């Protein structure tokens, strides 16, 4: 096996000459230690091996800073392109000064990121959102003429290339973090932190309704009428929604059924 990892003449068979699909299938069944050894053995295996090792990333604290620095400082390989799903957790005060700036910068290089999960303390969310805005990660709705000065100055906020592949967003943070979903066609949104009606309005106003397929959130509702209105408005706005999970308190099903029947067309339940 080791002999195949080195460069060969055109007449000598090499593992690098195998189709990418075969390489990915082989690498998928190897233990992590074997993948790392292969990665160290030949730089030519970086693409097939690295795309499996770095495909799903969980990072926080020092690990997140190391990951971000690797992505930002690399001049030969964009490691950010390997990451398809990312789970980032912020915890301590040190993250505000050390981790968040590096993390926001690293997100600019993750062109293939499809799923992102953020766990951020509520008192950190405002600062992280401000970083996202400065880096151009939040897509604002502006006219073409309003973008002229930004395009001439090279301002990142005038581009639409950042996180262009993002389709799934899960967060346990203050609802204001949902601004990251603005003007993005997200298919899946999962809000793990309980929000009130005002927070729910903020979230729904930031989502592209027609693109949404699954929605999961926890809402602080204690009155049946509020629940009825929420279910009706969400179902009416999100035409392509296939699954909705709203976690609330306990309600009497009989009390909820009659108003729901009135809201639906021809008495058909949603």
Per-residue pLDDT, 250: 58
Tens digits of residue pLDDT in 6-19: 444 444 445 566 66
pLDDT tens digits for range 180-238: 998 889 999 999 988 888 888 899 998 988 899 999 988 887 777 777 888 888 888 88
pLDDT single digits (tens) 112-164: 999 999 999 999 999 999 999 888 888 876 666 666 666 676 555 545 678 88
As a whole number of angstroms, the distance between CA 7 and CA 112 comes to 30
Sign of torsion over alpha carbons 233, 238, 242, 248: negative
**Pick from 230, 232, 224: nearest CA to 264:** 232
pTM here is: 0.74
Q: What is the CATH number of domain 45-248?
A: 3.80.10
């Amino acid at each position: 096996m080791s002999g195949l990892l080195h460069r060969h003449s055109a007449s000598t068979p090499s593992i690098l000459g195998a189709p990418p699909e075969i390489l990915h299938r082989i690498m998928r069944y190897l233990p992590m230690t074997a993948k790392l050894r292969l990665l160290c053995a030949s730089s030519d295996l970086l693409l097939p091996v690295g795309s499996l090792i770095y495909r799903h990333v969980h990072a926080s604290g020092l690990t997140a800073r190391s990951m971000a620095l690797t992505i930002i400082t690399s001049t030969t390989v964009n490691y950010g392109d390997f990451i398809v799903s990312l789970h980032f957790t912020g915890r301590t005060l040190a993250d505000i000064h050390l981790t968040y700036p590096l993390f926001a910068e690293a997100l600019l290089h993750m062109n293939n990121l499809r799923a992102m999960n953020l766990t951020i303390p509520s008192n950190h969310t405002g600062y992280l959102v401000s970083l996202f805005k400065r880096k151009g990660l939040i897509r604002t709705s502006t006219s073409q003429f309003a973008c002229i000065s930004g395009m001439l100055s090279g301002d990142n906020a005038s581009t639409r290339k950042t996180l262009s592949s993002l389709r799934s967003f899960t967060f346990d943070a203050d609802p204001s973090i949902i601004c990251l979903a603005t003007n993005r066609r997200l298919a899946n949104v999962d809000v793990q932190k309980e929000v009130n009606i005002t927070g729910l309005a903020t979230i729904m106003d930031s989502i592209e309704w027609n693109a949404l397929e699954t929605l999961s959130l926890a809402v602080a509702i204690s009155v049946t009428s509020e629940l009825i209105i929420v279910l009706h408005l969400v179902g009416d706005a999100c035409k392509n929604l296939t699954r909705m999970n709203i976690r609330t308190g306990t309600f009497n099903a009989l009390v909820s059924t009659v108003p729901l029947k009135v809201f639906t067309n021809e008495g058909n339940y949603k």
